[in-house]
Amino acid sequence: MTASVRSIELTQIAASAADSKQASDLVALDVSGPLPLADVFFLASGRNERNVVAIGEEIIDRFAEQGVKILRREGLSEGRWALLDFGDVVVHVFHEEDRMYYSLERLWKDCPVVPIEVASSEASA
């Protein structure tokens, strides 16, 4: 199985939103094979708690502009690890230290990477 076209479009919107708030280490993983409840995990890092919150809020706002409602939100107010569940796309915004500790990329290393494009050259595909 592969991620739907709509999930990939939403992932691109999330990447653009995160990039606009200076997020780093942008990674999107196609988890549709091992995880039937979602198509894509999108991961981004913030420099500090305020940056994590700003990134998460910007993603929520951009999705709302597209008519996509958030189903569940966890950890955004703490600014360490925000989990934003939009159904087919699940966004994880980490404080840099927590991202290294939890290392979700390692846990999902067998999943294909979804290419993303953003204006800055710092994002990884």
Stated pTM of the model: 0.91
| Buried-exposed string 34-54: b where 16+ CB fall within 10 A, e elsewhere | ebeebbbbbbbbbeeeebbbb
Look at residue 124 in the predicted model and tell me its pLDDT.
45
User: What spatial distance separates the first Cα and last Cα of the chain, rounded to whole Å?
Assistant: 20
Residue with tokens 């500790």: 101
Structure tokens at 104: 């979700």
Task: Say which residue the tokens 């990939």 belong to.
Answer: 8
Per-residue pLDDT of the chain (125 residues; tens, 9 = 90+): 688 999 999 999 999 999 999 999 999 999 999 988 999 999 999 999 999 999 999 999 999 999 999 999 999 999 999 999 999 999 999 999 999 999 999 999 999 999 999 876 444 44
Number of H helices, E strands in the chain: 4, 5
Q: What phi, psi does 11 have (nearest 5°)?
A: -65, -40
The pLDDT score that the predictor gives to residue 1 is: 61
Q: Tell me, what's the pLDDT at 7? A: 96
Bridge-partner residues for 80, per DSSP? Answer: none
CATH code for residues 5-107: 3.30.460.10
